[in-house]
């Protein structure tokens, strides 16, 4: 199996902090810079699974880079440079403790709640009589709180503002940006024969302005259906062909795991791990229209990433 990057422990000049997320390791450099490394870790149901996925970090970082560049004209973002296939350096911002989830179709966790009788999600009323994977009359925004550990929680716009998590003015800007990003992502997906089903965005504040941070439109944060088979499969009530992490969640569900107390993560065979890697690469090629070029093998991933980041940071600080 190809080597995978599961952990990092870098020490850059001027480094003030490091945050190890479920998938990304984020290094704070001085007062103004962040270095974000996309590892090969994979999480589902807010649990980091025991094995890494070859090339997953490269896929995530390069898809995010592609879409950050493609949306910079409508929403300011944090990216300055991507000096390594698995890493990006950008502006440091004060992140909001809220994730903006936007849904164009009733699927995934929203469908599971709807199926259980829920007709209101994050303060948004849902129409009666909808079916799985049905398109909403217009995209709905269903925010969640951003938890450092454990599960994120659904929350409404009104609760976010009332609790002081985000000011009314900033939240309005976040909603505006969320809809603009989803519209652009939808257009770009359609050009590649895909449907952008739902996604999430994270925002922060830098020099008094709301900016887009973290990743965008990757398979970890987004769900895609194939457009050519959507309608026929929907009408027949069959599962959609999709490019997303949902197939990993479904595999876990089928093996009796949903992240609940007492449940054990099923064994991840080499064949399963390889199939996940292939799905991530497939999604990269579909959403970007570019051929995936694996980063050079045969060298230490950590040494390569550290060297490339160090050169970039020194250049930006010069």
Give the whole-angstrom CA distance, residue 279 versus residue 191. Answer: 20
Which pLDDT does position 2 carry in this prediction?
A: 80
Instruction: Give yes or no for a contact between 210 and 203, defined as CB atoms under 8 angstroms apart.
Output: yes
* pLDDT confidence of residue 242: 83
Supply the CATH classification number for the domain 15-93+270-317.
3.30.200.20
pLDDT single digits (tens) 210-232: 999 999 999 888 999 999 999 99
Give the position of tokens 């403790």: 97
Domains of the chain, by residue range, sit at 15-93+270-317, 94-244
pLDDT at residue 46 in the model: 84
pLDDT at 243: 80
Residues 6+ apart with CB under 8 A from 130: 106, 114
pTM of the model: 0.90
| Fold: same for 15-93+270-317 and 94-244 | no
Please give the C-alpha separations between residue 61 and each of 137, 164, 257, in angstroms, as whole numbers. Answer: 32, 32, 28
pLDDT of residue 149: 56
The pLDDT value recorded for residue 1 is 58
Alpha-carbon distances, residue 310 vs 29, 36, 201 (angstroms): 11, 12, 28
Q: What is the pLDDT of residue 318?
A: 78
Segment 296-304 long-range contacts (CB within 8 Å, at least 24 positions apart) = 297/2, 297/3, 301/3, 301/4, 301/5, 301/86, 302/5, 302/8, 302/10, 304/84
Which pLDDT value is given to residue 250?
Answer: 87
Blockwise average pLDDT, block size 10, the chain, 318 residues = 89 95 94 95 90 95 96 97 97 95 95 95 95 97 80 88 96 98 97 96 96 91 94 96 83 92 92 92 91 83 94 91
Query: What dotted CATH number matches 94-244?
Result: 3.30.470.20
Q: How many CB atoms lie within 10 A of CB 311?
A: 12
State the CB neighbour count (10 A cutoff) for residue 298: 5
pLDDT of residue 297: 63
- At 262-314, the pLDDT tens digits run 999 999 999 999 999 998 998 899 899 999 999 976 668 999 999 999 999 99
Q: Do 86 and 305 contact (CB within 8 A), yes or no?
A: yes
Pairing of strands 15-20, 24-29: antiparallel
Candidates 195, 282, 220, 216; CA nearest to 67 is 216
């Amino acid at each position: 199996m190809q080597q995978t990057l599961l952990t990092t422990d870098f020490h850059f000049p001027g480094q003030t902090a490091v945050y190890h997320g479920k998938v990304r390791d984020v290094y704070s450099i001085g007062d103004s810079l962040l270095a974000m490394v996309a590892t090969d870790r994979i999480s589902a149901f807010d649990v980091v699974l025991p094995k890494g996925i070859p090339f997953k970090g490269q896929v995530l970082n390069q898809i995010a880079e592609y879409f950050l560049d493609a949306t910079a004209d409508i929403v300011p973002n944090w990216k300055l440079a991507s000096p390594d296939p698995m890493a990006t350096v950008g502006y440091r911002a004060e992140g909001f403790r809220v994730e903006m989830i936007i849904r164009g179709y009733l699927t995934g966790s929203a469908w599971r709640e709807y199926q259980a009788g829920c007709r209101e999600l994050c303060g948004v009323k849902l129409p009666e009589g909808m079916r799985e994977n049905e398109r909403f009359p217009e995209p709905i925004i269903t925010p969640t709180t951003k938890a450092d550990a454990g599960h994120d929680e659904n929350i409404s716009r009104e609760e976010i503002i009332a609790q002081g998590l985000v000011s009314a003015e900033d939240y309005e800007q976040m909603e505006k940006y969320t809809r603009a990003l989803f519209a652009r992502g939808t257009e770009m997906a359609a050009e590649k024969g895909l449907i952008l089903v739902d996604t999430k965005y994270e925002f922060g504040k830098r020099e008094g302005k709301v900016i887009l941070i973290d990743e965008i439109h990757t398979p970890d944060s987004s769900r895609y259906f194939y457009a050519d088979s959507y309608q026929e499969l929907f009408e027949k009530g069959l599962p959609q062909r999709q490019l997303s992490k949902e197939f990993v969640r479904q595999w876990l569900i089928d093996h009796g795991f949903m992240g609940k107390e007492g449940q054990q993560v099923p064994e991840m065979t080499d064949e399963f791990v390889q199939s996940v890697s292939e799905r991530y690469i497939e999604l990269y090629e579909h959403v970007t229209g570019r051929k995936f070029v694996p980063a050079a093998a045969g060298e230490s991933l950590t040494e390569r990433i550290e060297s490339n980041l160090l050169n970039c940071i020194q250049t930006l600080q010069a």
